[in-house]
Amino acid sequence: PPLLRALAPAERRSAALSTVGSSLRQRLSGLDAGRQRQAVLDTVRTHIAAVLGHDSASAIDPDRAFQDLGFDSLGAVELRNRLKTATGLSLAAAVVFDYPTPQALAAHLTDELTGTGHNVVVTAAKTFDGEPIAIVGMACRYPGGVRSPEELWQLVVTGTDATSEFPVNRGWDTERLYDPTGETPHTTYTRSGGFLHAAGEFDPAFFNISPNEAALMDPQQFLLLETSWEAFERAGVDPALLRGSATGVFAGMMYHDYPVNANAGSIASGRISYVFGLEGPSVTVDTACSSSLVTMHLAAQSLRSGECDLALAGGVTVMATPETFVEFSRQRGLSPDGRCKSFSDTADGVA
């Protein structure tokens, strides 16, 4: 507007941007790939430090998410503008959200500056060559203290009874909840089942999640993150190398009763994709008891069609409230001792 034009005349900066960007490209051209990445990372960290008011770039953890470093939308735009000037590249306003850590952003800028970048093209026209789908890594948590596939097999071999009484760390009023007759409203006539008593134990810092955010997360998300990491680890795959890859996530989840907002089932698969930087399909499936089976089907289908190159598939079940026990008690569908006796003359309900 004319009123503001006299106060802040427009500047022609395109030539200056081009000169700065060309200078950086020339400097990178004389370096090997590792030093190129480091040089760009140093540039990124320097500008992050300036935006956040730090005295030195050394204060910036390259693997920490921008959100955890203290960025908001305004800071993200300021960083974009600084990097646009420093590199001469045309950068989207959401570049900080597309590449959520300094390391990931530096890798992207390096690819753009050196011309080594590539686009991940998802196509459903790929012809399946008949090669079987291979499961290359697994991870799990089960009642009875099981924390690995080997421990699950050992539990089966030894015939261990993994059924236990109600957990005491979920805020349930276990005394009021139990009525052996099942006649009192809002009670259950069983107090046993298969529980992950340590479901709430989680190291948020390992996944660059702030303590405040972790306090509001559904523990089902904790378990999915932990077992995803372990599945990669058991497959011999460095999760950091999968960032930006066409890796799909298919998570089965049938309980959505964690009493905190922003814990919709869709967030579960999305959080895994976001934390690991995976760019394949990301789907949360709720088909009740068949949810995990359906995720296996969808993952195999996605791999065969070429939608993704690698897939995480599985499911999680943690009851945040005892309401399912109460409802099944009303229907007289529960086994009083919390144990299934399928195909037995003594069968008396589910567990």
Task: For 192-250, write each residue's pLDDT tens digit.
Answer: 999 999 999 999 999 999 999 899 999 999 999 999 999 999 999 999 888 888 999 99
Q: CB of 57 within 8 A of CB of 49?
A: yes
For residue 14, is pLDDT > 70?
no
For residue 125, is pLDDT > 60?
no
What integer is the mean pLDDT of 181-191?
94
Assigned token pair, 272: 């895994």
Quote the CA–CA distance of 253 and 285 in Å, as a whole number. Answer: 6
Radius of gyration over alpha carbons of the chain, in Å?
26
pLDDT, residue 268, reads 92
Q: CB of 227 within 8 A of CB of 264?
A: no
**Lowest mean pLDDT across 9-18, 79-88, 267-276, 285-294:** 9-18
Question: How do residues 246-262 score in pLDDT, each as one tens digit?
Answer: 999 999 999 988 877 65
**Burial zone of 48 (CB within 10 Å; 0-12 exposed, 13-18 middle, 19+ buried):** buried
Residue type, 129: D
Question: How do residues 74-89 score in pLDDT, each as one tens digit?
Answer: 888 899 999 988 888 8
Output b/e per residue, 147-181; b: 16+ Cβ within 10 A. bebeebeebeeeeeeebbebbeebebeeeebbeee
For residue 264, is pLDDT > 60?
yes
Quote the CA–CA distance of 130 and 109 in Å, as a whole number. Answer: 38
What SS3 string covers 76-112? HHHHHHHHHHHHCCCCCCCHHHHCCCHHHHHHHHHHH
Q: CB of 283 within 8 A of CB of 266?
A: no
- Comparing 73 with 326, which gets the higher pLDDT? 326
What integer is the mean pLDDT of 321-342?
94
What integer is the mean pLDDT of 49-74?
89
DSSP H or E segment with residue 285: strand 282-285
SS3 state at 193: strand
- Comparing 34 with 297, which gets the higher pLDDT? 297
DSSP H or E segment with residue 323: helix 323-330
Quote the CA–CA distance of 77 and 172 in Å, as a whole number. Answer: 46
User: Phi/psi zone of residue 4: left (φ > 0), alpha (ψ -120 to 50 degrees), beta?
Assistant: alpha
pTM of the entire structure? 0.68
Rounded to a whole number of angstroms, the distance between the first and last alpha carbons of the chain is 71
Looking at the chain, the whole-number percentage of residues with pLDDT higher than 70 is 89
pLDDT, residue 155, reads 97
Q: Of 336, 329, 322, give the one whose Cα is nearest residue 185.
A: 329
User: How many DSSP H helices and E strands does the chain contain?
Assistant: 14, 5
What integer is the mean pLDDT of 95-124?
74
For residue 123, is pLDDT > 60?
no
